[in-house]
């Protein structure tokens, strides 16, 4: 374990004015609090906070961040409290430690709904003080470096979380070195065979060609000396995960992959960056489409550099990054450069981004997200995507994620421009709206009065902002249509139980469901966000559920007195169909239709089969069957479908859309039926309607018990 004086010396190397006594005090307090605790590897637990602090000294961070690292697990894992840390070390450090504790408790790789909420909390913590994330990233880095002591299942879970969340977050913050190391450590766990294979290929390549990095570095230095440019040149082979990702993206083997080497040239001035670029391009042929100037168009996290790829020695492609020393500091530390110290004072780097402004730019688009899916869409786009820079006809720069289309460009300017978009010109040429934009292109949006967003635009747009605006507009446009459809669904459902869907009844139901008014209730009914069964159950629970309760012993013949049953979701058998039962431990007997494909899985387990048949008596309409319909997208069609089902004395229990096209809808309607004859009557009535293109029972083999 690193001694306290050695840790202080690491800080003094860049901050001679550090408060050494405060670091000693925090070290002693953390050591005492974690006394008797051990990691899975067997070493004293306090080794971990000390190593996290040491990682943060590499980024030359302030005393508060170093002390937070030493204490970051005390509130969670020891008897220490927020109040005690506040009294001993001040409110600033107590807030930081508390922030890290809350982040540790977030399950970022949980279900999507929970994940979205936890991402919100993550960004809230970031917005309060970004240093919380810096400590958490260093914490994750050390845990990944020592992950071998965990059980394999836990290793895989932590590695996947690192690859999906923490590595992209480090990259988004501009800490590329940390992103690469986190990715490589996770890659070692998730696909060790692929990683080892790439390393073996590298060893073979070096044996065949010699030290290519050293040779190309010398070639670059020679060219710079000829131009009398003073600069440092560094070269390296790219990380195994970076190479593997390129192989996957391009579908190429290692032998065909060319740009596996990267070189960095650090100059004394911005002017020298462009002189270096000229020297490199005069000596080697530039690869088309692989040039980016992040000096004239910096990334939002402050990153500035020139990137170019050239065909170097022996035709091997090499990537070259050119930047000044100050730009390199920001490129290494990213947003963390704001807190960096040198010689005891905060570094005044003109390229370092104000974290408050960076967080504001990162989160401003999240605030309008109306549901979990939209929020995750925003977050993942912001974290994972690179950017392209396009120009307006006036020469203004618009930043968009890679893969963005003219629609994204239009909505980034103004929602009104996006909503009324009818076409686009890129570099003066008319292009389809689904065209992927590239760096440096000039984009002009063509608009027309009366134009409204199309439902197909959702699939064309890639930015969360554009998708949210399109959804909002479609919701407003569809609202009246949904209300009309909702009225029809409500009428059929209420008629089924002998009641009327009056305004008063609907207003009362809306109030019970915490909706503002009956119009909102009907709109949600029509858009399938709410089922008619829920509305009926809200007002008449005894009528809504009475018909669903069937006598289990009378419904199916062939069960023993202690056996219970349920219908298989995959085939949804109804009375009148031949059936067979499959026993499940803890679930009783699951009834399948005799022709259900899922039964093939049990051919070798005859002991689980039970010979059953439906009772010959009259069954209540309580058996839900899913119908797959394709209908014409025209006014009143869906309402007529609902009426036809109601006329057959069947109840619609749920409805949702699988696909919406300008001319046709494909949807699943769940209908409550008595038996197979009732099902045939409903399907026959629907098939006879001229607006129904196709109808079939919806069977899903994935919906198993």
* Residue 521, strand partner residues: none
The per-residue DSSP string of 468-509 comes to HHHHHHHHHHHHHHHHHHHHHHHHHHHHHTT----HHHHHHH
Q: Is-contact 28 67, C-beta < 8 A?
A: no
Q: What gap in Å lies between CA 132 and CA 149, rounded to an integer?
A: 26
Long-range (24+ apart) CB contacts under 8 A made by 547-554 are: 547/620, 547/621, 547/622, 547/672, 548/620, 548/622, 548/672, 549/622, 550/619, 550/620, 550/622, 554/615, 554/617
Q: Is-contact 278 306, C-beta < 8 A?
A: no
Q: Is-contact 631 664, C-beta < 8 A?
A: yes
Asked about 77 being catalytic, the answer comes back as yes
Q: Is-contact 55 138, C-beta < 8 A?
A: yes
The SS3 of residue 223 is helix
Q: What gap in Å lies between CA 26 and CA 66, rounded to an integer?
A: 9
254-292: b (≥16 Cβ within 10 Å) or e:
beebbbbbbbbbbbeeeebbbbbbebbeebbeebeeebb
**Options 3, 6, 73, 77, the catalytic residue:** 77
Helix or strand run (H / E) with residue 205: helix 192-209
Smallest CA-to-CA distance from 290 within 268, 274, 311, 304 is with 311
Q: Is-contact 654 531, C-beta < 8 A?
A: yes
Residue 298 has a CB neighbour count (10 Å cut-off) of 18
Q: Is-contact 211 237, C-beta < 8 A?
A: no
Q: What gap in Å lies between CA 572 and CA 63, rounded to an integer?
A: 65
Q: Is-contact 140 109, C-beta < 8 A?
A: no
The per-residue DSSP string of 412-438 comes to HH-HHHHHTEEEEEETTEEE-TTPPP-
**Options 9, 76, 92, 689, the catalytic residue:** 76
Q: Is-contact 623 675, C-beta < 8 A?
A: yes
Q: What gap in Å lies between CA 235 and CA 224, rounded to an integer?
A: 15
Q: Is-contact 121 105, C-beta < 8 A?
A: no
Q: Is-contact 391 443, C-beta < 8 A?
A: yes
Q: What gap in Å lies between CA 423 and CA 444, rounded to an integer?
A: 9
User: What tokens does 283 get?
Assistant: 């000596």
Q: Is 651 exposed, middle or buried (0-12, 13-18, 19+ CB in 10 A)?
A: buried
Asked about 551 being catalytic, the answer comes back as no
Helix or strand run (H / E) with residue 306: strand 306-311
User: What tokens does 580 get?
Assistant: 């067979």
User: Over 157-174, what HEC string results?
Assistant: HHHHHHHHHHHHHHHHCC
Residue whose token pair is 């005090």: 25
- List residues with catalytic annotation: 76-77
């Amino acid at each position: 374990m690193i001694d306290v004086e050695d840790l202080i010396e690491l800080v003094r190397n860049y901050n001679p004015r550090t408060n050494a006594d405060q670091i000693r005090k925090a070290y002693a307090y953390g050591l005492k609090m974690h006394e008797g605790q051990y990691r899975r590897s067997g070493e004293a637990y306090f080794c971990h906070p000390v190593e996290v602090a040491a990682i943060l000294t590499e980024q030359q961070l302030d005393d508060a961040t170093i002390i937070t690292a030493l204490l970051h697990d005390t509130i969670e894992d020891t008897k220490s409290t927020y109040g005690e840390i506040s009294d001993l070390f001040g409110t600033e450090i107590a807030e930081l430690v508390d922030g890290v504790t809350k982040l540790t408790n977030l399950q970022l790789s949980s279900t999507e709904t929970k994940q979205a909420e936890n991402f919100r909390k993550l960004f809230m913590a970031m917005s309060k003080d970004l240093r919380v994330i810096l400590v958490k990233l260093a914490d994750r880095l050390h845990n990944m470096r020592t992950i071998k002591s965990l059980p394999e299942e836990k290793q895989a879970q932590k590695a996947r979380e690192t690859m999906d969340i923490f590595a992209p977050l480090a990259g988004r913050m501009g800490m590329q070195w940390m992103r690469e190391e986190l990715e490589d450590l996770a890659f070692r766990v998730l696909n060790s065979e692929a990683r080892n294979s790439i390393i073996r290929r590298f060893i073979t390549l070096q044996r065949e060609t010699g030290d290519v990095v050293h040779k190309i570095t010398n070639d670059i230095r020679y060219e710079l000396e000829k131009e009398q440019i003073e600069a440092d040149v560094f070269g390296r082979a790219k990380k195994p995960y970076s190479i593997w990702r390129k192989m996957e993206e391009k579908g190429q083997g290692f032998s065909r992959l060319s740009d596996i080497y990267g070189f960095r040239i650090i100059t004394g001035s911005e002017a020298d960056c462009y002189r270096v670029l000229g020297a490199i391009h005069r000596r080697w042929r530039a690869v088309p489409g692989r040039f980016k100037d992040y000096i004239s168009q910096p990334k939002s996290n402050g990153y500035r550099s020139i990137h170019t790829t050239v065909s170097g020695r022996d035709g091997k492609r090499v990537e070259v990054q050119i930047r000044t020393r100050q730009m390199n500091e920001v490129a290494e530390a990213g947003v963390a450069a704001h807190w960096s110290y040198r010689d005891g004072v905060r570094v005044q780097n003109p390229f370092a981004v104000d974290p408050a402004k960076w967080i504001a730019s990162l989160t401003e688009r999240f605030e309008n997200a109306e549901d979990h899916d939209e929020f995750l869409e925003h977050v993942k786009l912001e974290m994972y995507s690179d950017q392209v820079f396009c120009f307006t006809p006036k020469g203004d720069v618009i930043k968009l994620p890679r893969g963005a289309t003219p629609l994204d460009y239009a909505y980034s300017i103004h929602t009104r421009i996006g909503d009324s978009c009818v076409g686009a010109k890129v570099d003066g040429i008319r292009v389809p709206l689904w065209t992927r934009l590239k760096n440096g292109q000039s984009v002009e949006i063509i608009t027309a009065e009366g134009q409204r967003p199309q439902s197909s635009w959702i699939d064309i747009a890639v930015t969360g902002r554009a998708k949210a605006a399109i959804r909002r507009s479609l919701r407003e446009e569809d609202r009246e249509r949904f209300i009309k459809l909702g009225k029809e669904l409500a009428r059929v459902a209420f008629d089924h139980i002998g009641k009327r869907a009056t305004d008063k009844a609907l207003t009362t139901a809306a109030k019970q469901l915490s909706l503002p008014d009956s119009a909102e209730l009907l709109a949600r009914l029509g858009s399938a966000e709410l089922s008619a069964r829920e509305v009926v159950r809200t007002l008449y629970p005894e009528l809504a559920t009475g018909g669903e309760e069937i006598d289990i012993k009378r419904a199916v013949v062939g069960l023993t007195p202690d056996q219970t049953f349920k219908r298989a979701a995959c085939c949804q058998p109804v009375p009148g169909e031949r059936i067979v039962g499959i026993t499940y431990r803890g679930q009783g007997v699951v009834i399948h239709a005799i022709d259900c494909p899922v039964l093939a899985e049990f051919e070798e387990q005859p002991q689980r089969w039970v010979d059953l048949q439906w009772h010959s008596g009259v069954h209540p309409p309580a058996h839900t069957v899913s119908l797959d319909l394709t209908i014409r997208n025209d006014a009143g069609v869906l309402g007529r479908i609902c009426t036809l089902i109601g006329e057959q004395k069947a109840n619609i229990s749920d409805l949702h859309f699988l696909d919406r096209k300008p001319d046709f809808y494909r949807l699943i309607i769940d209908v409550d039926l008595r038996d197979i004859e009732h099902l045939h009557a409903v399907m026959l009535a629907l098939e006879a309607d001229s607006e129904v293109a196709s109808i079939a029972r919806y069977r899903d083999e994935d919906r198993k018990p």
